[in-house]
Chains A and B, each alone.
Chain A
Amino acid sequence: MIRIALLPLLLVAIPAFGQERPMMITSDTPEYCEQLQARVAQFGFGDPDVQRLVTEGKRMCDHGEIRGGIARMRRALMMQLKQGRRQQMPPWPDLPPRRRR
């Protein structure tokens, strides 16, 4: 009787047990946002559009809108690269220390 009562629990547990653990994408984190900001800063903010995108991106990352913030940082970086700065590209900055969330 107890076994029968536990059967629904077992049925629920089996798929949960079989499910894989989702892998985490690390380029959606506040740390990566900071890393991208540091990367853009390496080229300097000569272009006002780049400056604006970086400012927006930083504000969004600080407010928890990480993916939006990272998207703006990436667009700022792409604008810099389109302006022909890939040749003068410095090495990637070191990652800032990982923050505990």
Chain B
Amino acid sequence: MADSLKFRPFFRSASVKLAAVYGVLFAISAVALVLFLLWSTTNLVDEQVEAAINADAQGLLERWNEGGMPSLVLTLKERVAENVDDDAIYFLADAEEARITGNLDAWPAKVIFPNIFYDMAVTRGQVVSHAAVRRFNLPGGFLLLVGRDVRGPQQLKRLLPGTLIWCAVLMTVLGLAGGLVMRNLFRRMVADVSATAEAISRGELGHRVRRSGRGDEFDRMAEAINTMLDRIARLMDGVRQVSNSIAHDLRTPITRARARLEDAAYHAQGEPELRAAVERAVADLDGVTAVFQALMRIAEIEAGSRRSAFAEIDLGPLLADLAELYGALAEEQGLTLRLDVPDTLPAFGDRDLVQQAVANLLDNAIKFSPQGTQIRLSAYVSDRKIRISVADQGPGIPEADRERAAERFFRGEQARSTPGSGLGLALVQAVATLHDGALLLEDARPGLRATLSLPAVPPARMEPASSARDALAMGAVAQEPIV
């Protein structure tokens, strides 16, 4: 009882079952192959013997037709004499089955019907052998028996099953051995994956599945699992970093608002002073709300739910309207905004999101450009992608920071002194990813060139779409940039 309990987990093991299934399938295949070989070989041997008898008889019947009985008798004698293989059997008899010629001592009693191959025992000297024979009825009631000694094929038939059974046994043993090898491989792989999962659940997030280095399927699976774990680790780092950034970035305005309110409560000289303090605190808290709204919007974009709202849009008019809107703002800052965009630029995506992304890029450019410089908004199609580029002549982003510039709350050294939450480029990145596009930040020498790539739509597919100007007129655009 204890033994059966001990072995139960062994038989429940998936690797044991896999090995057993593999072994059984291999054994069945081996037995089927052996049976097929046996059957086909036996058939082939029988067919060859029967074909030889039929061909021999055909020749003899021709001799009978050409020269009658004397010719046939002579041919039979010659064939017996010339039978170097010593396997031919002939017997010519009259209607009473009495011997005329041949190399059998008498007509075999069992050979009654023509067109049937009979198997019969024959003796050669002291040795009993087997022969396949066939009866042919000749005109005049004469009987001809033609046969072949099948001792050789019989021996082959006798040897084959034994040989093939041994082959089957060997193949089955090899199959079982293969099954065991597979079981061990499976167990080793599963054990490693299991150990990794357990380690991660214990909090050892750096643990990874080991690779054998053979480059096989197990290695590829280990790589896939490790890539997944790396990605999860990066995401967790991101979440941790965002949480820290939220705590850090929001603490300042909240603390400031609290300090203002406290100061007003204790030191305000009258209602106007108190009201002004409250208004400043409300403005600070509005900034906090805006950050939360931006975070929620990025999260919404990253969730991909807005993909269902994708449509064919024309970016040409949309970018022209944005240039007009931000041109005035740039002018106020002493900057020049140049537009280099074709009239029509068909794309497939979410109009509002693309507009917000480009607005963020323009807002950043205006914010960081020194007076008297130029900002260039351009767009062109290349490699079936629409590339919308905003280039300024500001301080740019150092190469070391460019990779992280699109992360949430990331603010470079030069951006610390300017207002903003560090979410603008994160939103542009989210919009690009949602559209299967990309955000590329490059050195414009001097300044920064931010390029947003989106998939283009061939002009033939482009349907007449309302321009951004119409949308502006309907009040559907005009979203605040996230900076």
A residues near B (Cβ < 8 Å) are 20-28, 32, 36, 39, 66-67, 70-71, 74-75, 77-78, 81, 92
Contacts and interface: CB of A to CB of B under 8 A. Distances in A.
A88 to B, nearest CB: 14
Nearest to B125: A28
B108 A23 contact: yes
Contacts of B89: 25
Contacts of B86: 27-28, 67, 70-71, 74
28 contacts: A20-B121, A21-B121, A22-B120, A22-B123, A22-B128, A23-B105, A23-B106, A23-B108, A23-B131, A24-B105, A24-B122, A25-B89, A25-B103, A25-B122, A25-B124, A26-B102, A26-B105, A27-B80, A27-B86, A27-B103, A28-B86, A28-B125, A39-B81, A66-B125, A67-B125, A74-B84, A77-B82, A92-B77
A60 to B, nearest CB: 13
B82 A81 contact: yes
Nearest to B133: A23
A36 B82 CA distance: 10
Interface string B42-81: 0000000000000000000000000000000010010011
Nearest to B149: A25
Contacts, number: 64
- How would you classify the secondary structure of chain B's contact residues: helix, strand, loop or mixed? mixed
A21 B102 CA distance: 19
A21 B125 CA distance: 15
B414 interface: no
Contacts of A75: 84
Contacts of B74: 92
The 5 residue pairs across chains A and B that have the minimum distance between CB atoms = A27-B103, A22-B121, A24-B105, A22-B123, A28-B124
B105 to A, nearest CB: 4
A83 B125 CA distance: 32
B104 A78 contact: no
B110 interface: yes
